[in-house]
Structure 1
Amino acid sequence: MAASNKTTAVYRLIMVGSGGVGKSALTLQYMYDEFVVDYEPTKADSYRKAVMLDGEEVQIDILDTAGQENYAAIRDTYIRSGEGFLLVFDVTDAESFSDLTDLYEQILRVKNGGTNIPAILVGNKIDLAERRKVTLDEAEQKARTWSIRYIETSAKTKHNVDKVFCELMRIVRPFKNPVRDPGPAAPRPTKSPKTKKDRKCIIL
């Protein structure tokens, strides 16, 4: 039995982006394996689940911002509570792409972290390739400017949905334990067949 004093790490991730880009669809697809069309939350929704991240059991806590996100002061509160950010835009909507610049600058301002913020730029709705307005080159250039990764997703087909959440937790991880007591080298379940099979996070 694992030692009871081992605290499960909680990763607080914030979904950021304009309305309609698929923040909720990505979250619900990751959490429940279902694609929800026309989901329009009027308030921020928080989701939490236990997952295996590279052999360690952790909690992922996703805040899906919506509704009041147009109010900068409320956004500040969300941002302050977050450890990592998925900056989501719709590849068929150029305005949603340009909107992220202000949001990213707000994150930098609130977090006071220079440019070293755990974040991933996410281009969603790549299943709608024929309607695409933002090119891969444009998105990758923006991510390079911000010194973050760019990943394309489809909430509808689940393409790269697990990947963006797993990768963001991995980016956040070094920020969570900056040389704390040497103890957190958690008991690694090296014999777990799940862990050996794939290193991505597995929802428990």
Structure 2
Amino acid sequence: MGERMRIVIVGSGGVGKSALTIRFLQNKFIQEYDPTIEDTYRKTMTIDKKSVFLDILDTAGQEEYTSMENTYFRLGDGFVCVYSITSADSYKKMKDCMENVLMHKDQQYFPIIIVGNKCDLKTKREVTPSQVAKDFKKTKYQYIETSALEGINVNKIFIDLVRTCRKHSLFLKEQEKKQKNKKKKKNCIIM
């Protein structure tokens, strides 16, 4: 059995979180849209010759369900923060979502991939890649534009996030090791 990761997909309603998830899991596009309250999916895959079992939580984007967010934020190992390139408002809400994730994780950095969905609708674009690059210039977050409709970069989101989670986990283990070594040195009394 391989490692297990909890991936949480967040963003406002109607940006295509469920469409991205279904495209990833079943390689099909869902036409009809029912607002998601919460759906959990599972998929096992091999990335870099290591097996990984993904628990994917597709969260609600509707305001009335935001009370569930605290649980999502605490449990997630990595986050897919989605907005629609055709909606500046969804971009603002996605940035607010990211802030909530970081606040709940009590860290300045956490495995997050920023996803601009609906790149097939370039003529209706309200958010440019240069705007995203400017807003996140000082961070390590990866930015990907996707299309659930056309299947563009959908698998890349999850593969790259797994790799980022693995690196972050190694980093945290190294930090923990350094802390233990510091404590040991403090506890040693030289006579």
Shorter-chain TM range is 0.7 to 0.9
Alpha-carbon deviation of 1:59?
A: 0.6
Report which of the two has the higher share of helix: 2
* Structure 2: 5+ residue stretches without partners: 175-191
- 1:73 aligned onto 2:67: yes
Instruction: Give the structure 2 partner of residue 14 of structure 1.
Output: 8
Rounded to whole Å, the distance in 1 between the matches of 2:86 and 2:12 is: 13
Range that drifts further, 167-176 or 28-37: 167-176
Structure 1 residues 1-204: aligned runs within 5 Å? 7-66=1-60, 70-113=64-107, 115-177=108-170, 178=173
Judged with a 3 Å threshold, the aligned counterparts in structure 2 of structure 1 residues 109 and 53 are, in CA distance, closer, same or farther, namely same
Judged with a 3 Å threshold, the aligned counterparts in structure 2 of structure 1 residues 69 and 76 are, in CA distance, closer, same or farther, namely farther
Calculate the TM-score normalised by the size of structure 2.
Answer: 0.84
Rounded to whole Å, the distance in 2 between the matches of 1:48 and 1:69 is: 26
Judged with a 3 Å threshold, the aligned counterparts in structure 2 of structure 1 residues 99 and 172 are, in CA distance, closer, same or farther, namely same
Rounded to whole Å, the distance in 2 between the matches of 1:152 and 1:99 is: 17
* Structure 1: 5+ residue stretches without partners: 1-6, 180-204
How many aligned positions are there? Answer: 172
Structure 2 SS opposite 1:38: coil
Which amino acid is 2:124 matched to? Answer: R
Higher relative contact order (CA 8 A, sep 6+): 1
Superimposed CA distance per residue, residues 151-198 of structure 1 (whole angstroms, 9 cap, x where no aligned partner): 11000111100001100010001333525xxxxxxxxxxxxxxxxxxx
Cα pair 2:40 2:55 within 8 Å, conserved: yes
Judged with a 3 Å threshold, the aligned counterparts in structure 2 of structure 1 residues 34 and 64 are, in CA distance, closer, same or farther, namely same
Task: State the Cα RMSD in Å.
Answer: 1.6
Which amino acid is 2:69 matched to? Answer: R
Cα pair 2:77 2:111 within 8 Å, conserved: yes
Cα pair 2:20 2:148 within 8 Å, conserved: yes
Rounded to whole Å, the distance in 2 between the matches of 1:104 and 1:46 is: 20
Judged with a 3 Å threshold, the aligned counterparts in structure 2 of structure 1 residues 71 and 41 are, in CA distance, closer, same or farther, namely closer
Judged with a 3 Å threshold, the aligned counterparts in structure 2 of structure 1 residues 128 and 119 are, in CA distance, closer, same or farther, namely same
Rounded to whole Å, the distance in 1 between the matches of 2:91 and 2:115 is: 10
Rounded to whole Å, the distance in 2 between the matches of 1:166 and 1:70 is: 31
Alpha-carbon deviation of 1:39?
A: 2.5
Structure 2 SS opposite 1:80: helix
Which amino acid is 2:76 matched to? Answer: G
